[in-house]
Amino acid sequence: MSRVFLTWAVTHSVKEVQSEDSVLLFVVAWTITEIIRYSFYTFSLLNHLPYLIKWARYTLFIVLYPMGVSGELLTIYAALPFVRQSGLYSISLPNKYNFSFDYYTFLILVMISYIPIFPQLYFHMLHQRRKVLSHSEEHKKPE
């Protein structure tokens, strides 16, 4: 969901951030991640998973995940002044629905949500790495 949100609701919608280095940061992280992920899935389906691809799937996230998250957060942060100035996607009162929405505040809340969510997902992946790669190492030991 964060990829759709960052791609459409931030980067596409706020043209001024499209040339930010932070966009390149998350796009590179996402691209490498997807190449590894789909290689992993493909070779797994073929029942011929090279250890290098398994290792890459459960190791490179250590750098790629923080890199992607940093790019995402920096891009949202760069979009904030433009969102505030333009009132992008915001709905002000009064209106016939008696409802208001401030996209600027929403973006700040999204950024804050990374604080509890990122460590939980990152440590889950570290746990998965330990489980999957240590299991592989046990099978590689000569008896």
Out of 65, 77, 89, 122, pick the active-site residue: 65
Determine whether 72 is an active site residue.
yes
Q: How far apart are the first and last CA of the chain?
A: 46
Backbone angles phi, psi at 101, to 5 degrees: -150, 130
- Domain spans, the chain: 2-140
Q: What is the CA radius of gyration of the chain?
A: 20
The model's pTM: 0.90
Checking if the pLDDT of 140 tops 80, the result is: no
pLDDT digits (tens, 9 = 90+) for 29-44: 999 999 999 999 999 9
d(CA 60, CA 118): 16
Render pLDDT for 71-129 as a digit per residue (tens, 0 to 9). Answer: 999 999 999 999 999 999 999 999 999 999 999 999 999 999 999 999 999 999 999 99
Higher pLDDT, 136 or 113: 113
Among candidate residues 20, 72, 103, 104, the one labeled active-site is: 72
Burial class (CB in 10 A: 0-12, 13-18, 19+), 57: buried
42-75 tens-digit pLDDT: 999 999 999 999 999 999 999 999 999 999 999 9
Which element (helix H / strand E) includes 54? helix 51-57
